[in-house]
Structure 1
Amino acid sequence: MLVIALDTSTPAVTAGLVAVADGHARPLAERVTVNPRAHGELLMPHLTDVMAEAGRELSEVDAVVVGAGPGPFTGLRVGMVTAASLGHALDVPVHPVCGLDAIAAQAATGAPLLVATDARRKEVYWAAYAADGSRTTGPRVQRPAEVPTDGIAAAAGEMAGLFGLEVVGIAHPSPVGLVTAADLGAPPQPLVPLYLRRPDAQAPGPRKQVAR
């Protein structure tokens, strides 16, 4: 089974092609560039390079997996719209995956884990995981000081160093992590982004009336 994996939920622009056989995910090619302002410019060129390096055609792909956040509005939309378009064009299922789940799946620490990424505004997106990798809390968005760490052994993600825990050196969702966290045998869930909070931009209110 060949799976395209895309993620734009963090500053990393990620595209990869992963082979899945007997329940194991193996990377065939990937491109990752950390640039929070270039998701729209880099994602499809990255995917084109990935397919060329792997020597595969888009018509051979069986599914698409995409990071559904949590993440900022603009970047997150780029990945999800691209994944939806590919799924429609190739007539293959598109599976959304929580990016924090993907990091936890790649970390596979065998111990309780906290995954935290940058939510800006001095906050983090975070989720907690049991030793078997199942999510126990989250995803949520809070200030680092408000995140509970009792019983947690290690931390992963961009903001892992804020919690006084053993740091697992995985900052962003990887293609293999995304595919591992996806349930490819189940019907895909709706492509609903995990924003977790309202956007910074607000619709303008009604114009003030000018008294005569």
Structure 2
Amino acid sequence: MLVLAIDTATPEVVTGVVEVTDDVGPVVRSERRELTTRGHAEILTTRILECLAEAGIARRELDAVVVGQGPGPFTGLRVGLATGAAFGDALGIGVHGVCSLDAIALQEPDVRSLLVVTDARRREVYWARFVDGVRTHGPDVLAPGELADHLAGESIDAVAGSPGHTALFGLPARGASAPTAASLVQVALPNLVASVVPGPLTPLYLRRPDAVELKDRKK
């Protein structure tokens, strides 16, 4: 099974082609990861085509798409979801949405209790807590100080995610800062191997978009 992986929930745009085999599991055939704060729309399709070319895969050979549903800022996240949905519709294949924070946490399997935070702008973070790889809290959005109070008394061994925000919590910081092509597919793997028909993509914006029409601002 050949899977196109996409994530635009963080400033690191992630694309890749991953092959899922019965005996080995997900194997990355190609991957692109590029930091950009507002250039998701400009680079995403180009990076996808580069990944397909490097993997020697034609678009019609893809069997599924996995796309990060966030949480993430409105504009960037929408680009990834729309592109993933367009590929799925054009090729007649399923598009599986996964929580982007789950794909970050999956990269730190040796941490029993893990906090994952990413940049939500407005001096806030998107966050989730994981115990033994299972999400127990979140995803949600809070200011770092409020999150620290919210988690007071909880046992947390380490924090992963945006480097500029992991340092705010006084916890050992891990290296996973964004999803990878492999971790996105790994989160979706049970549904992929079971040939589950995915439901509609639901973006995890967690709040209203920054840009609204004037009539909505008055409300």
Q: Which bin holds the TM-score, normalised by the shorter protein?
A: over 0.9
Aligned twin of 1:175: 181
Aligned residue number for residue 138 of structure 2 = 138
**For residues 15 and 174 of structure 1, what CA distance do their matches in structure 2 show?**
8
- Corresponding residue number in structure 2 for 1:191: 201
State the identity %: 50
Aligned residues: 206
The counterpart of 1:161, out of the listed 163, 167, 179, is: 167
Bigger Rg, which one: 1
Residue type of the alignment partner of 2:140: R
The question of whether the paired residues in 1 share the 8 Å contact of 2:111 and 2:157 is answered with: no
TM-score normalised according to structure 2 size: 0.89
**Which residue of structure 1 lines up, in the alignment, with residue 34 of structure 2?**
33
RMSD: 1.6
- The answer (yes or no) to whether the contact 1:128–1:137 under 8 Å persists in 2 is yes
Distance, in Å, in 2 between the alignment partners of 1:127 and 1:114 is 6
Secondary structure of the corresponding residue to residue 70 of structure 1: coil
Q: Structure 2 counterpart of 1:64, which letter?
A: V
Indicate yes or no: 2:76 matched with 1:75: yes
Report the Cα distance in structure 2 between the residues aligned to 1:47 and 1:205, rounded to whole angstroms.
37
> Which 4+ residue blocks in structure 1 deviate beyond 6 angstroms?
none
| Equivalent residue number for residue 18 of structure 1 | 18
The gaps in structure 1 that reach 5 residues or longer are none
8 Å contact 1:106–1:176 — kept in the other structure? Answer: no
Question: SS at the partner of 2:179?
Answer: coil
Amino acid at match of 1:104: A
Aligned-pair CA distance for 1:110: 4.1
- Return the match for 2:210 from 177, 200, 206: 200
Give the structure-1-normalised TM-score. 0.92
Residues 72-114 of structure 1: CA distance to partner in whole angstroms, max 9, x if unpaired? Answer: 1111111000000000111110001110011011222241111
